[in-house]
Structures are given as C-alpha cells and as structure tokens.
Amino acid sequence: MFTVNPKLLLQRPCRIAVISGSPKYPEIHGTVSFFKACNGSLAVAEIFNLPSDKRVFAMHIHNGTECSGNTDDPFANAGSHLNLFNEEHPFHTGDLPALFSNNGYAWTAFYTNRFQPTQVKGYPVIIHAAPDDYHTQPSGNSGEKIACGIIK
C-alpha cells in the first residue's frame, strides 16, 4: 500500500507543466506537477474549463518538445506517447490516468513508478477530447489534442 507523506505536497514540485488550451479551446488552463516519490513520481493535475459536454479526458506525456502544430492538429509537434522502454500502449512511460471532469474542473493525483520527474523534463503533457480506451495502438483512440503544456 502506497501512502503519501503530506509534507511532500508542501514542497515545491520537482517539475511542473503549465497547461493551455488549443486555439479551439482557449479557456482551458491548469497545471500538472510532478513530485519525486518512492522510485517514481507523485503527480497532481488541476485543470480548469474543460469542455462541459464531455466528462472523461485522456492524458499522456508525449515525446515531442513543443506545444505547436498546424491547423488540423494544433499540437502535432507534441509527437506520440513517450515510450522510454519500448512498451505497447497502455504501458508507455507517458500513459497516465484519465482526467474526470466536474463541470469542467478536474483535480487528480496519482503515483507512478514509470518515471522519475527528471526523466520527463522538456516533454509535453497532452489532454485529449476523448477517453483513452487503454487498448487501441498506438495511442488509445483518445481523439483530438485539446490542451498542452511542456514539463519544465
């Protein structure tokens, strides 16, 4: 059983991604913070103004270096799922638990031993318009990329 030391949450995060919406979803904003914890990371995501017509949103760390793209996919340069150990979806390094939205607001925390905060520095966190099915290759059929932030 993993227990969180409450003092951990009072420390500055090791890494933080400031999340912004795509041009189609400019109102989305928030943070995803990564704290070093027990051979892995404790992550805390707080996202505001998700589209209110949907309630579950896939979230991944991708392997690109920029939250940029083109008119078809404003975050095309975010690349595909971060995969440091040559695994299949949903066992990629960057496969994260979904965001569950409460009228547009989502807060979630999770522990993962797939990476340390230092290993994901510089990569983008992507939020998708649809839930991840945790099955379809290579990216869980998660739909449009609606928000992005680089882990700094």
Residue 15 or 62 with smaller CB distance to Zn ion: 62
Taking the alpha carbons at both ends of the chain, their separation in whole angstroms is 30
Contact between 60 and Cu ion per CB under 5 A? yes
The per-residue DSSP string of 119-140 comes to: GGTTPEEEEESS---S-STTTT
Residue 8 or 56 with smaller CB distance to Zn ion: 56
Q: How far is the CB of 103 from Zn ion (least distance, A)?
A: 28
For Zn ion, the binding residues (CB under 5 A) are 81, 89, 92, 95
The Cα–Cα gap between 87 and 61 comes to 14
Q: How far is the CB of 67 from Zn ion (least distance, A)?
A: 18
Q: How far is the CB of 128 from Cu ion (least distance, A)?
A: 5
Helix (H) or strand (E) holding 112: strand 106-112
Binding site for Cu ion (CB under 5 A): 60, 126
